[in-house]
Amino acid sequence: MNPPDAASTAMLDPVSADHAAATPAYRRILLKLSGEALMGDDQYGIKREVIDRIVAEIGDVMRAGVEIAIVIGGGNIFRGVAPGAAGMDRATADYMGMLATIMNALALQDALRRADVESRVQSALRIDQVAEPYIRGRALRHLEEGRVVIFAAGTGNPFFTTDTAAALRGREMGVDIVLKATKVDGVYTADPMKDTSAVRYKTLTFDEAIVKNLKVMDATALALCRDQNMLLKVFSISVPGALKHDLAKVRTGRAHTGLLDHLHVESYGASVPLSQVARVTLADPRTIGVQPFDKKMIPAVEKAIRDSDLGLNPA
Ligand code: UDP
């Protein structure tokens, strides 16, 4: 790696940072966590460090006064049984998938309990010994009382997905936004893990996502979001701090380098992570130092910081 030969500094704007600390961006959110979000780099299952990190962020967002509902997927467990389910009746396989989401919901609730965050699991399939049945009024009451509500078993119906459950429960709970956690930091023209020319959309209409088959969510979920005027944001759960800082806008007024982790910079026609073109350090508690490896990148780096909605002021 080349040594840094130029310096550009991104400084936390004290006014916007303190303001953001007092007023989170949203009053109530619905977080859609896919099963895959819980498995980290593994092929299936639940990874303890990953779930603990997500839970710590959820706790911070909740303590900032945001009410949080969660719809949890089941892909991480269902993948493990998928080979055996080949050729199985679709509805039966779907019920198995819904049962997988209940297991994830219980794991998540247990992790929340360890982090001193009160929560309730409500299941769309009755399983009274381990979870409350889904009752809308009761779920709303839990949220108002400051409990995280985890919705398990999707919609309770085969032939649907937990994305549709997220749109449905989000609407029923009257949330300000549905936040979908994925492995990438937004919606791209193609899969950025496979296609390096994939470009990230800044905004996108639901119709565009449906017509272009962009795999943000399945078409049923997208149509529901569109018809109900829901706001949806896709973010990367692998970026520490993404939920807390970028989305819920909960800030402590202190700078930390993780704020810039998800930032992409235009470099020779491609969008690349900031870390590939610059060294990011903590200069002092209110200042993040960003040193592009190549001087020519300074304007592009400044633009990326200014265009992000992080409230940072590059100097
Ligand atoms: N599922 C279902 N109805 C629902 C939600 C989920 O039948 O309302 C089943 C479906 O088989 C799905 C599985 O549960 O494949 C796990 O959900 P999903 O694939 O949405 O989980 P994720 O991919 O988010 O982990």
User: Which stretches of the chain are DSSP H helices?
Assistant: 14-22, 48-63, 75-85, 90-114, 136-144, 162-173, 206-211, 219-227, 298-307
Mean pLDDT, residues 156-168 taken together? 97
34 CB near ligand 1 (under 6 Å): yes
Q: Do residues 239 and 233 make contact, with C-beta atoms less than 8 angstroms apart?
A: no
Sheet with 132-133: strands ordered across: 132-133, 119-123, 148-152, 67-72, 28-33, 177-182, 232-236
Mean pLDDT, residues 12-37 taken together? 68
The rounded Å distance from CA 251 to ligand 1 centre is: 34
Instruction: Give the pLDDT confidence of 80-95 residue by residue, as tens digits.
Output: 777 777 889 999 999 9
Confidence of residue 286 (pLDDT cuts 50, 70, 90): low
User: What local confidence, expressed as pLDDT, does residue 18 receive?
Assistant: 39
The rounded Å distance from CA 118 to ligand 1 centre is: 25
Reply yes or no on whether the pLDDT at 34 is more than 60. yes
Instruction: Give the pLDDT confidence of 53-78 residue by residue, as tens digits.
Output: 999 999 999 998 999 999 999 999 98
User: What local confidence, expressed as pLDDT, does residue 143 receive?
Assistant: 98
CA distance 315 to 45: 45
Confidence of residue 3 (pLDDT cuts 50, 70, 90): very low
Q: Which position has the higher pLDDT, 234 or 249?
A: 234
Give the ligand 1 atom nearest the CA of 36.
Answer: 25
Query: Which amino acid, one-letter code, is at 217?
Result: M
Strand partners, 233: 179
The rounded Å distance from CA 60 to ligand 1 centre is: 28
Per the structure block, which two tokens stand in for 131?
A: 């979870």
The rounded Å distance from CA 64 to ligand 1 centre is: 31
CA distance 48 to 50: 5
134 CB near ligand 1 (under 6 Å): no
Reply yes or no on whether the pLDDT at 2 is more than 60. no
Give the CA distances from residue 131 to residues 96, 108, 128, 146, in Å, rounded to whole numbers and listed in that order: 17, 13, 5, 18
Per the structure block, which two tokens stand in for 286?
A: 């209110």
Q: Which position has the higher pLDDT, 312 or 248?
A: 312
Determine what percent of the chain is predicted with pLDDT higher than 90: 49
Reply yes or no on whether the pLDDT at 283 is more than 60. yes
Rounded to the nearest integer, the mean pLDDT of the chain is: 85
Give the ligand 1 atom nearest the CA of 162.
Answer: 20
Instruction: Give the pLDDT confidence of 212-245 residue by residue, as tens digits.
Output: 988 889 999 999 999 999 999 998 888 888 888 7
Most informative mutation of 92, 161, 169, 215 for ligand 1 (most atoms within 8 A of CB): 161
204 φ, ψ (degrees, to nearest 5): -160, 140
**Residue with CA nearest ligand 1 atom 6:** 161
Helices (H) and strands (E) in the chain, counts: 9, 13
Confidence of residue 193 (pLDDT cuts 50, 70, 90): confident
Q: Do residues 185 and 200 make contact, with C-beta atoms less than 8 angstroms apart?
A: yes
CA distance 284 to 304: 21
User: What local confidence, expressed as pLDDT, does residue 22 receive?
Assistant: 45
User: What local confidence, expressed as pLDDT, does residue 20 receive?
Assistant: 39
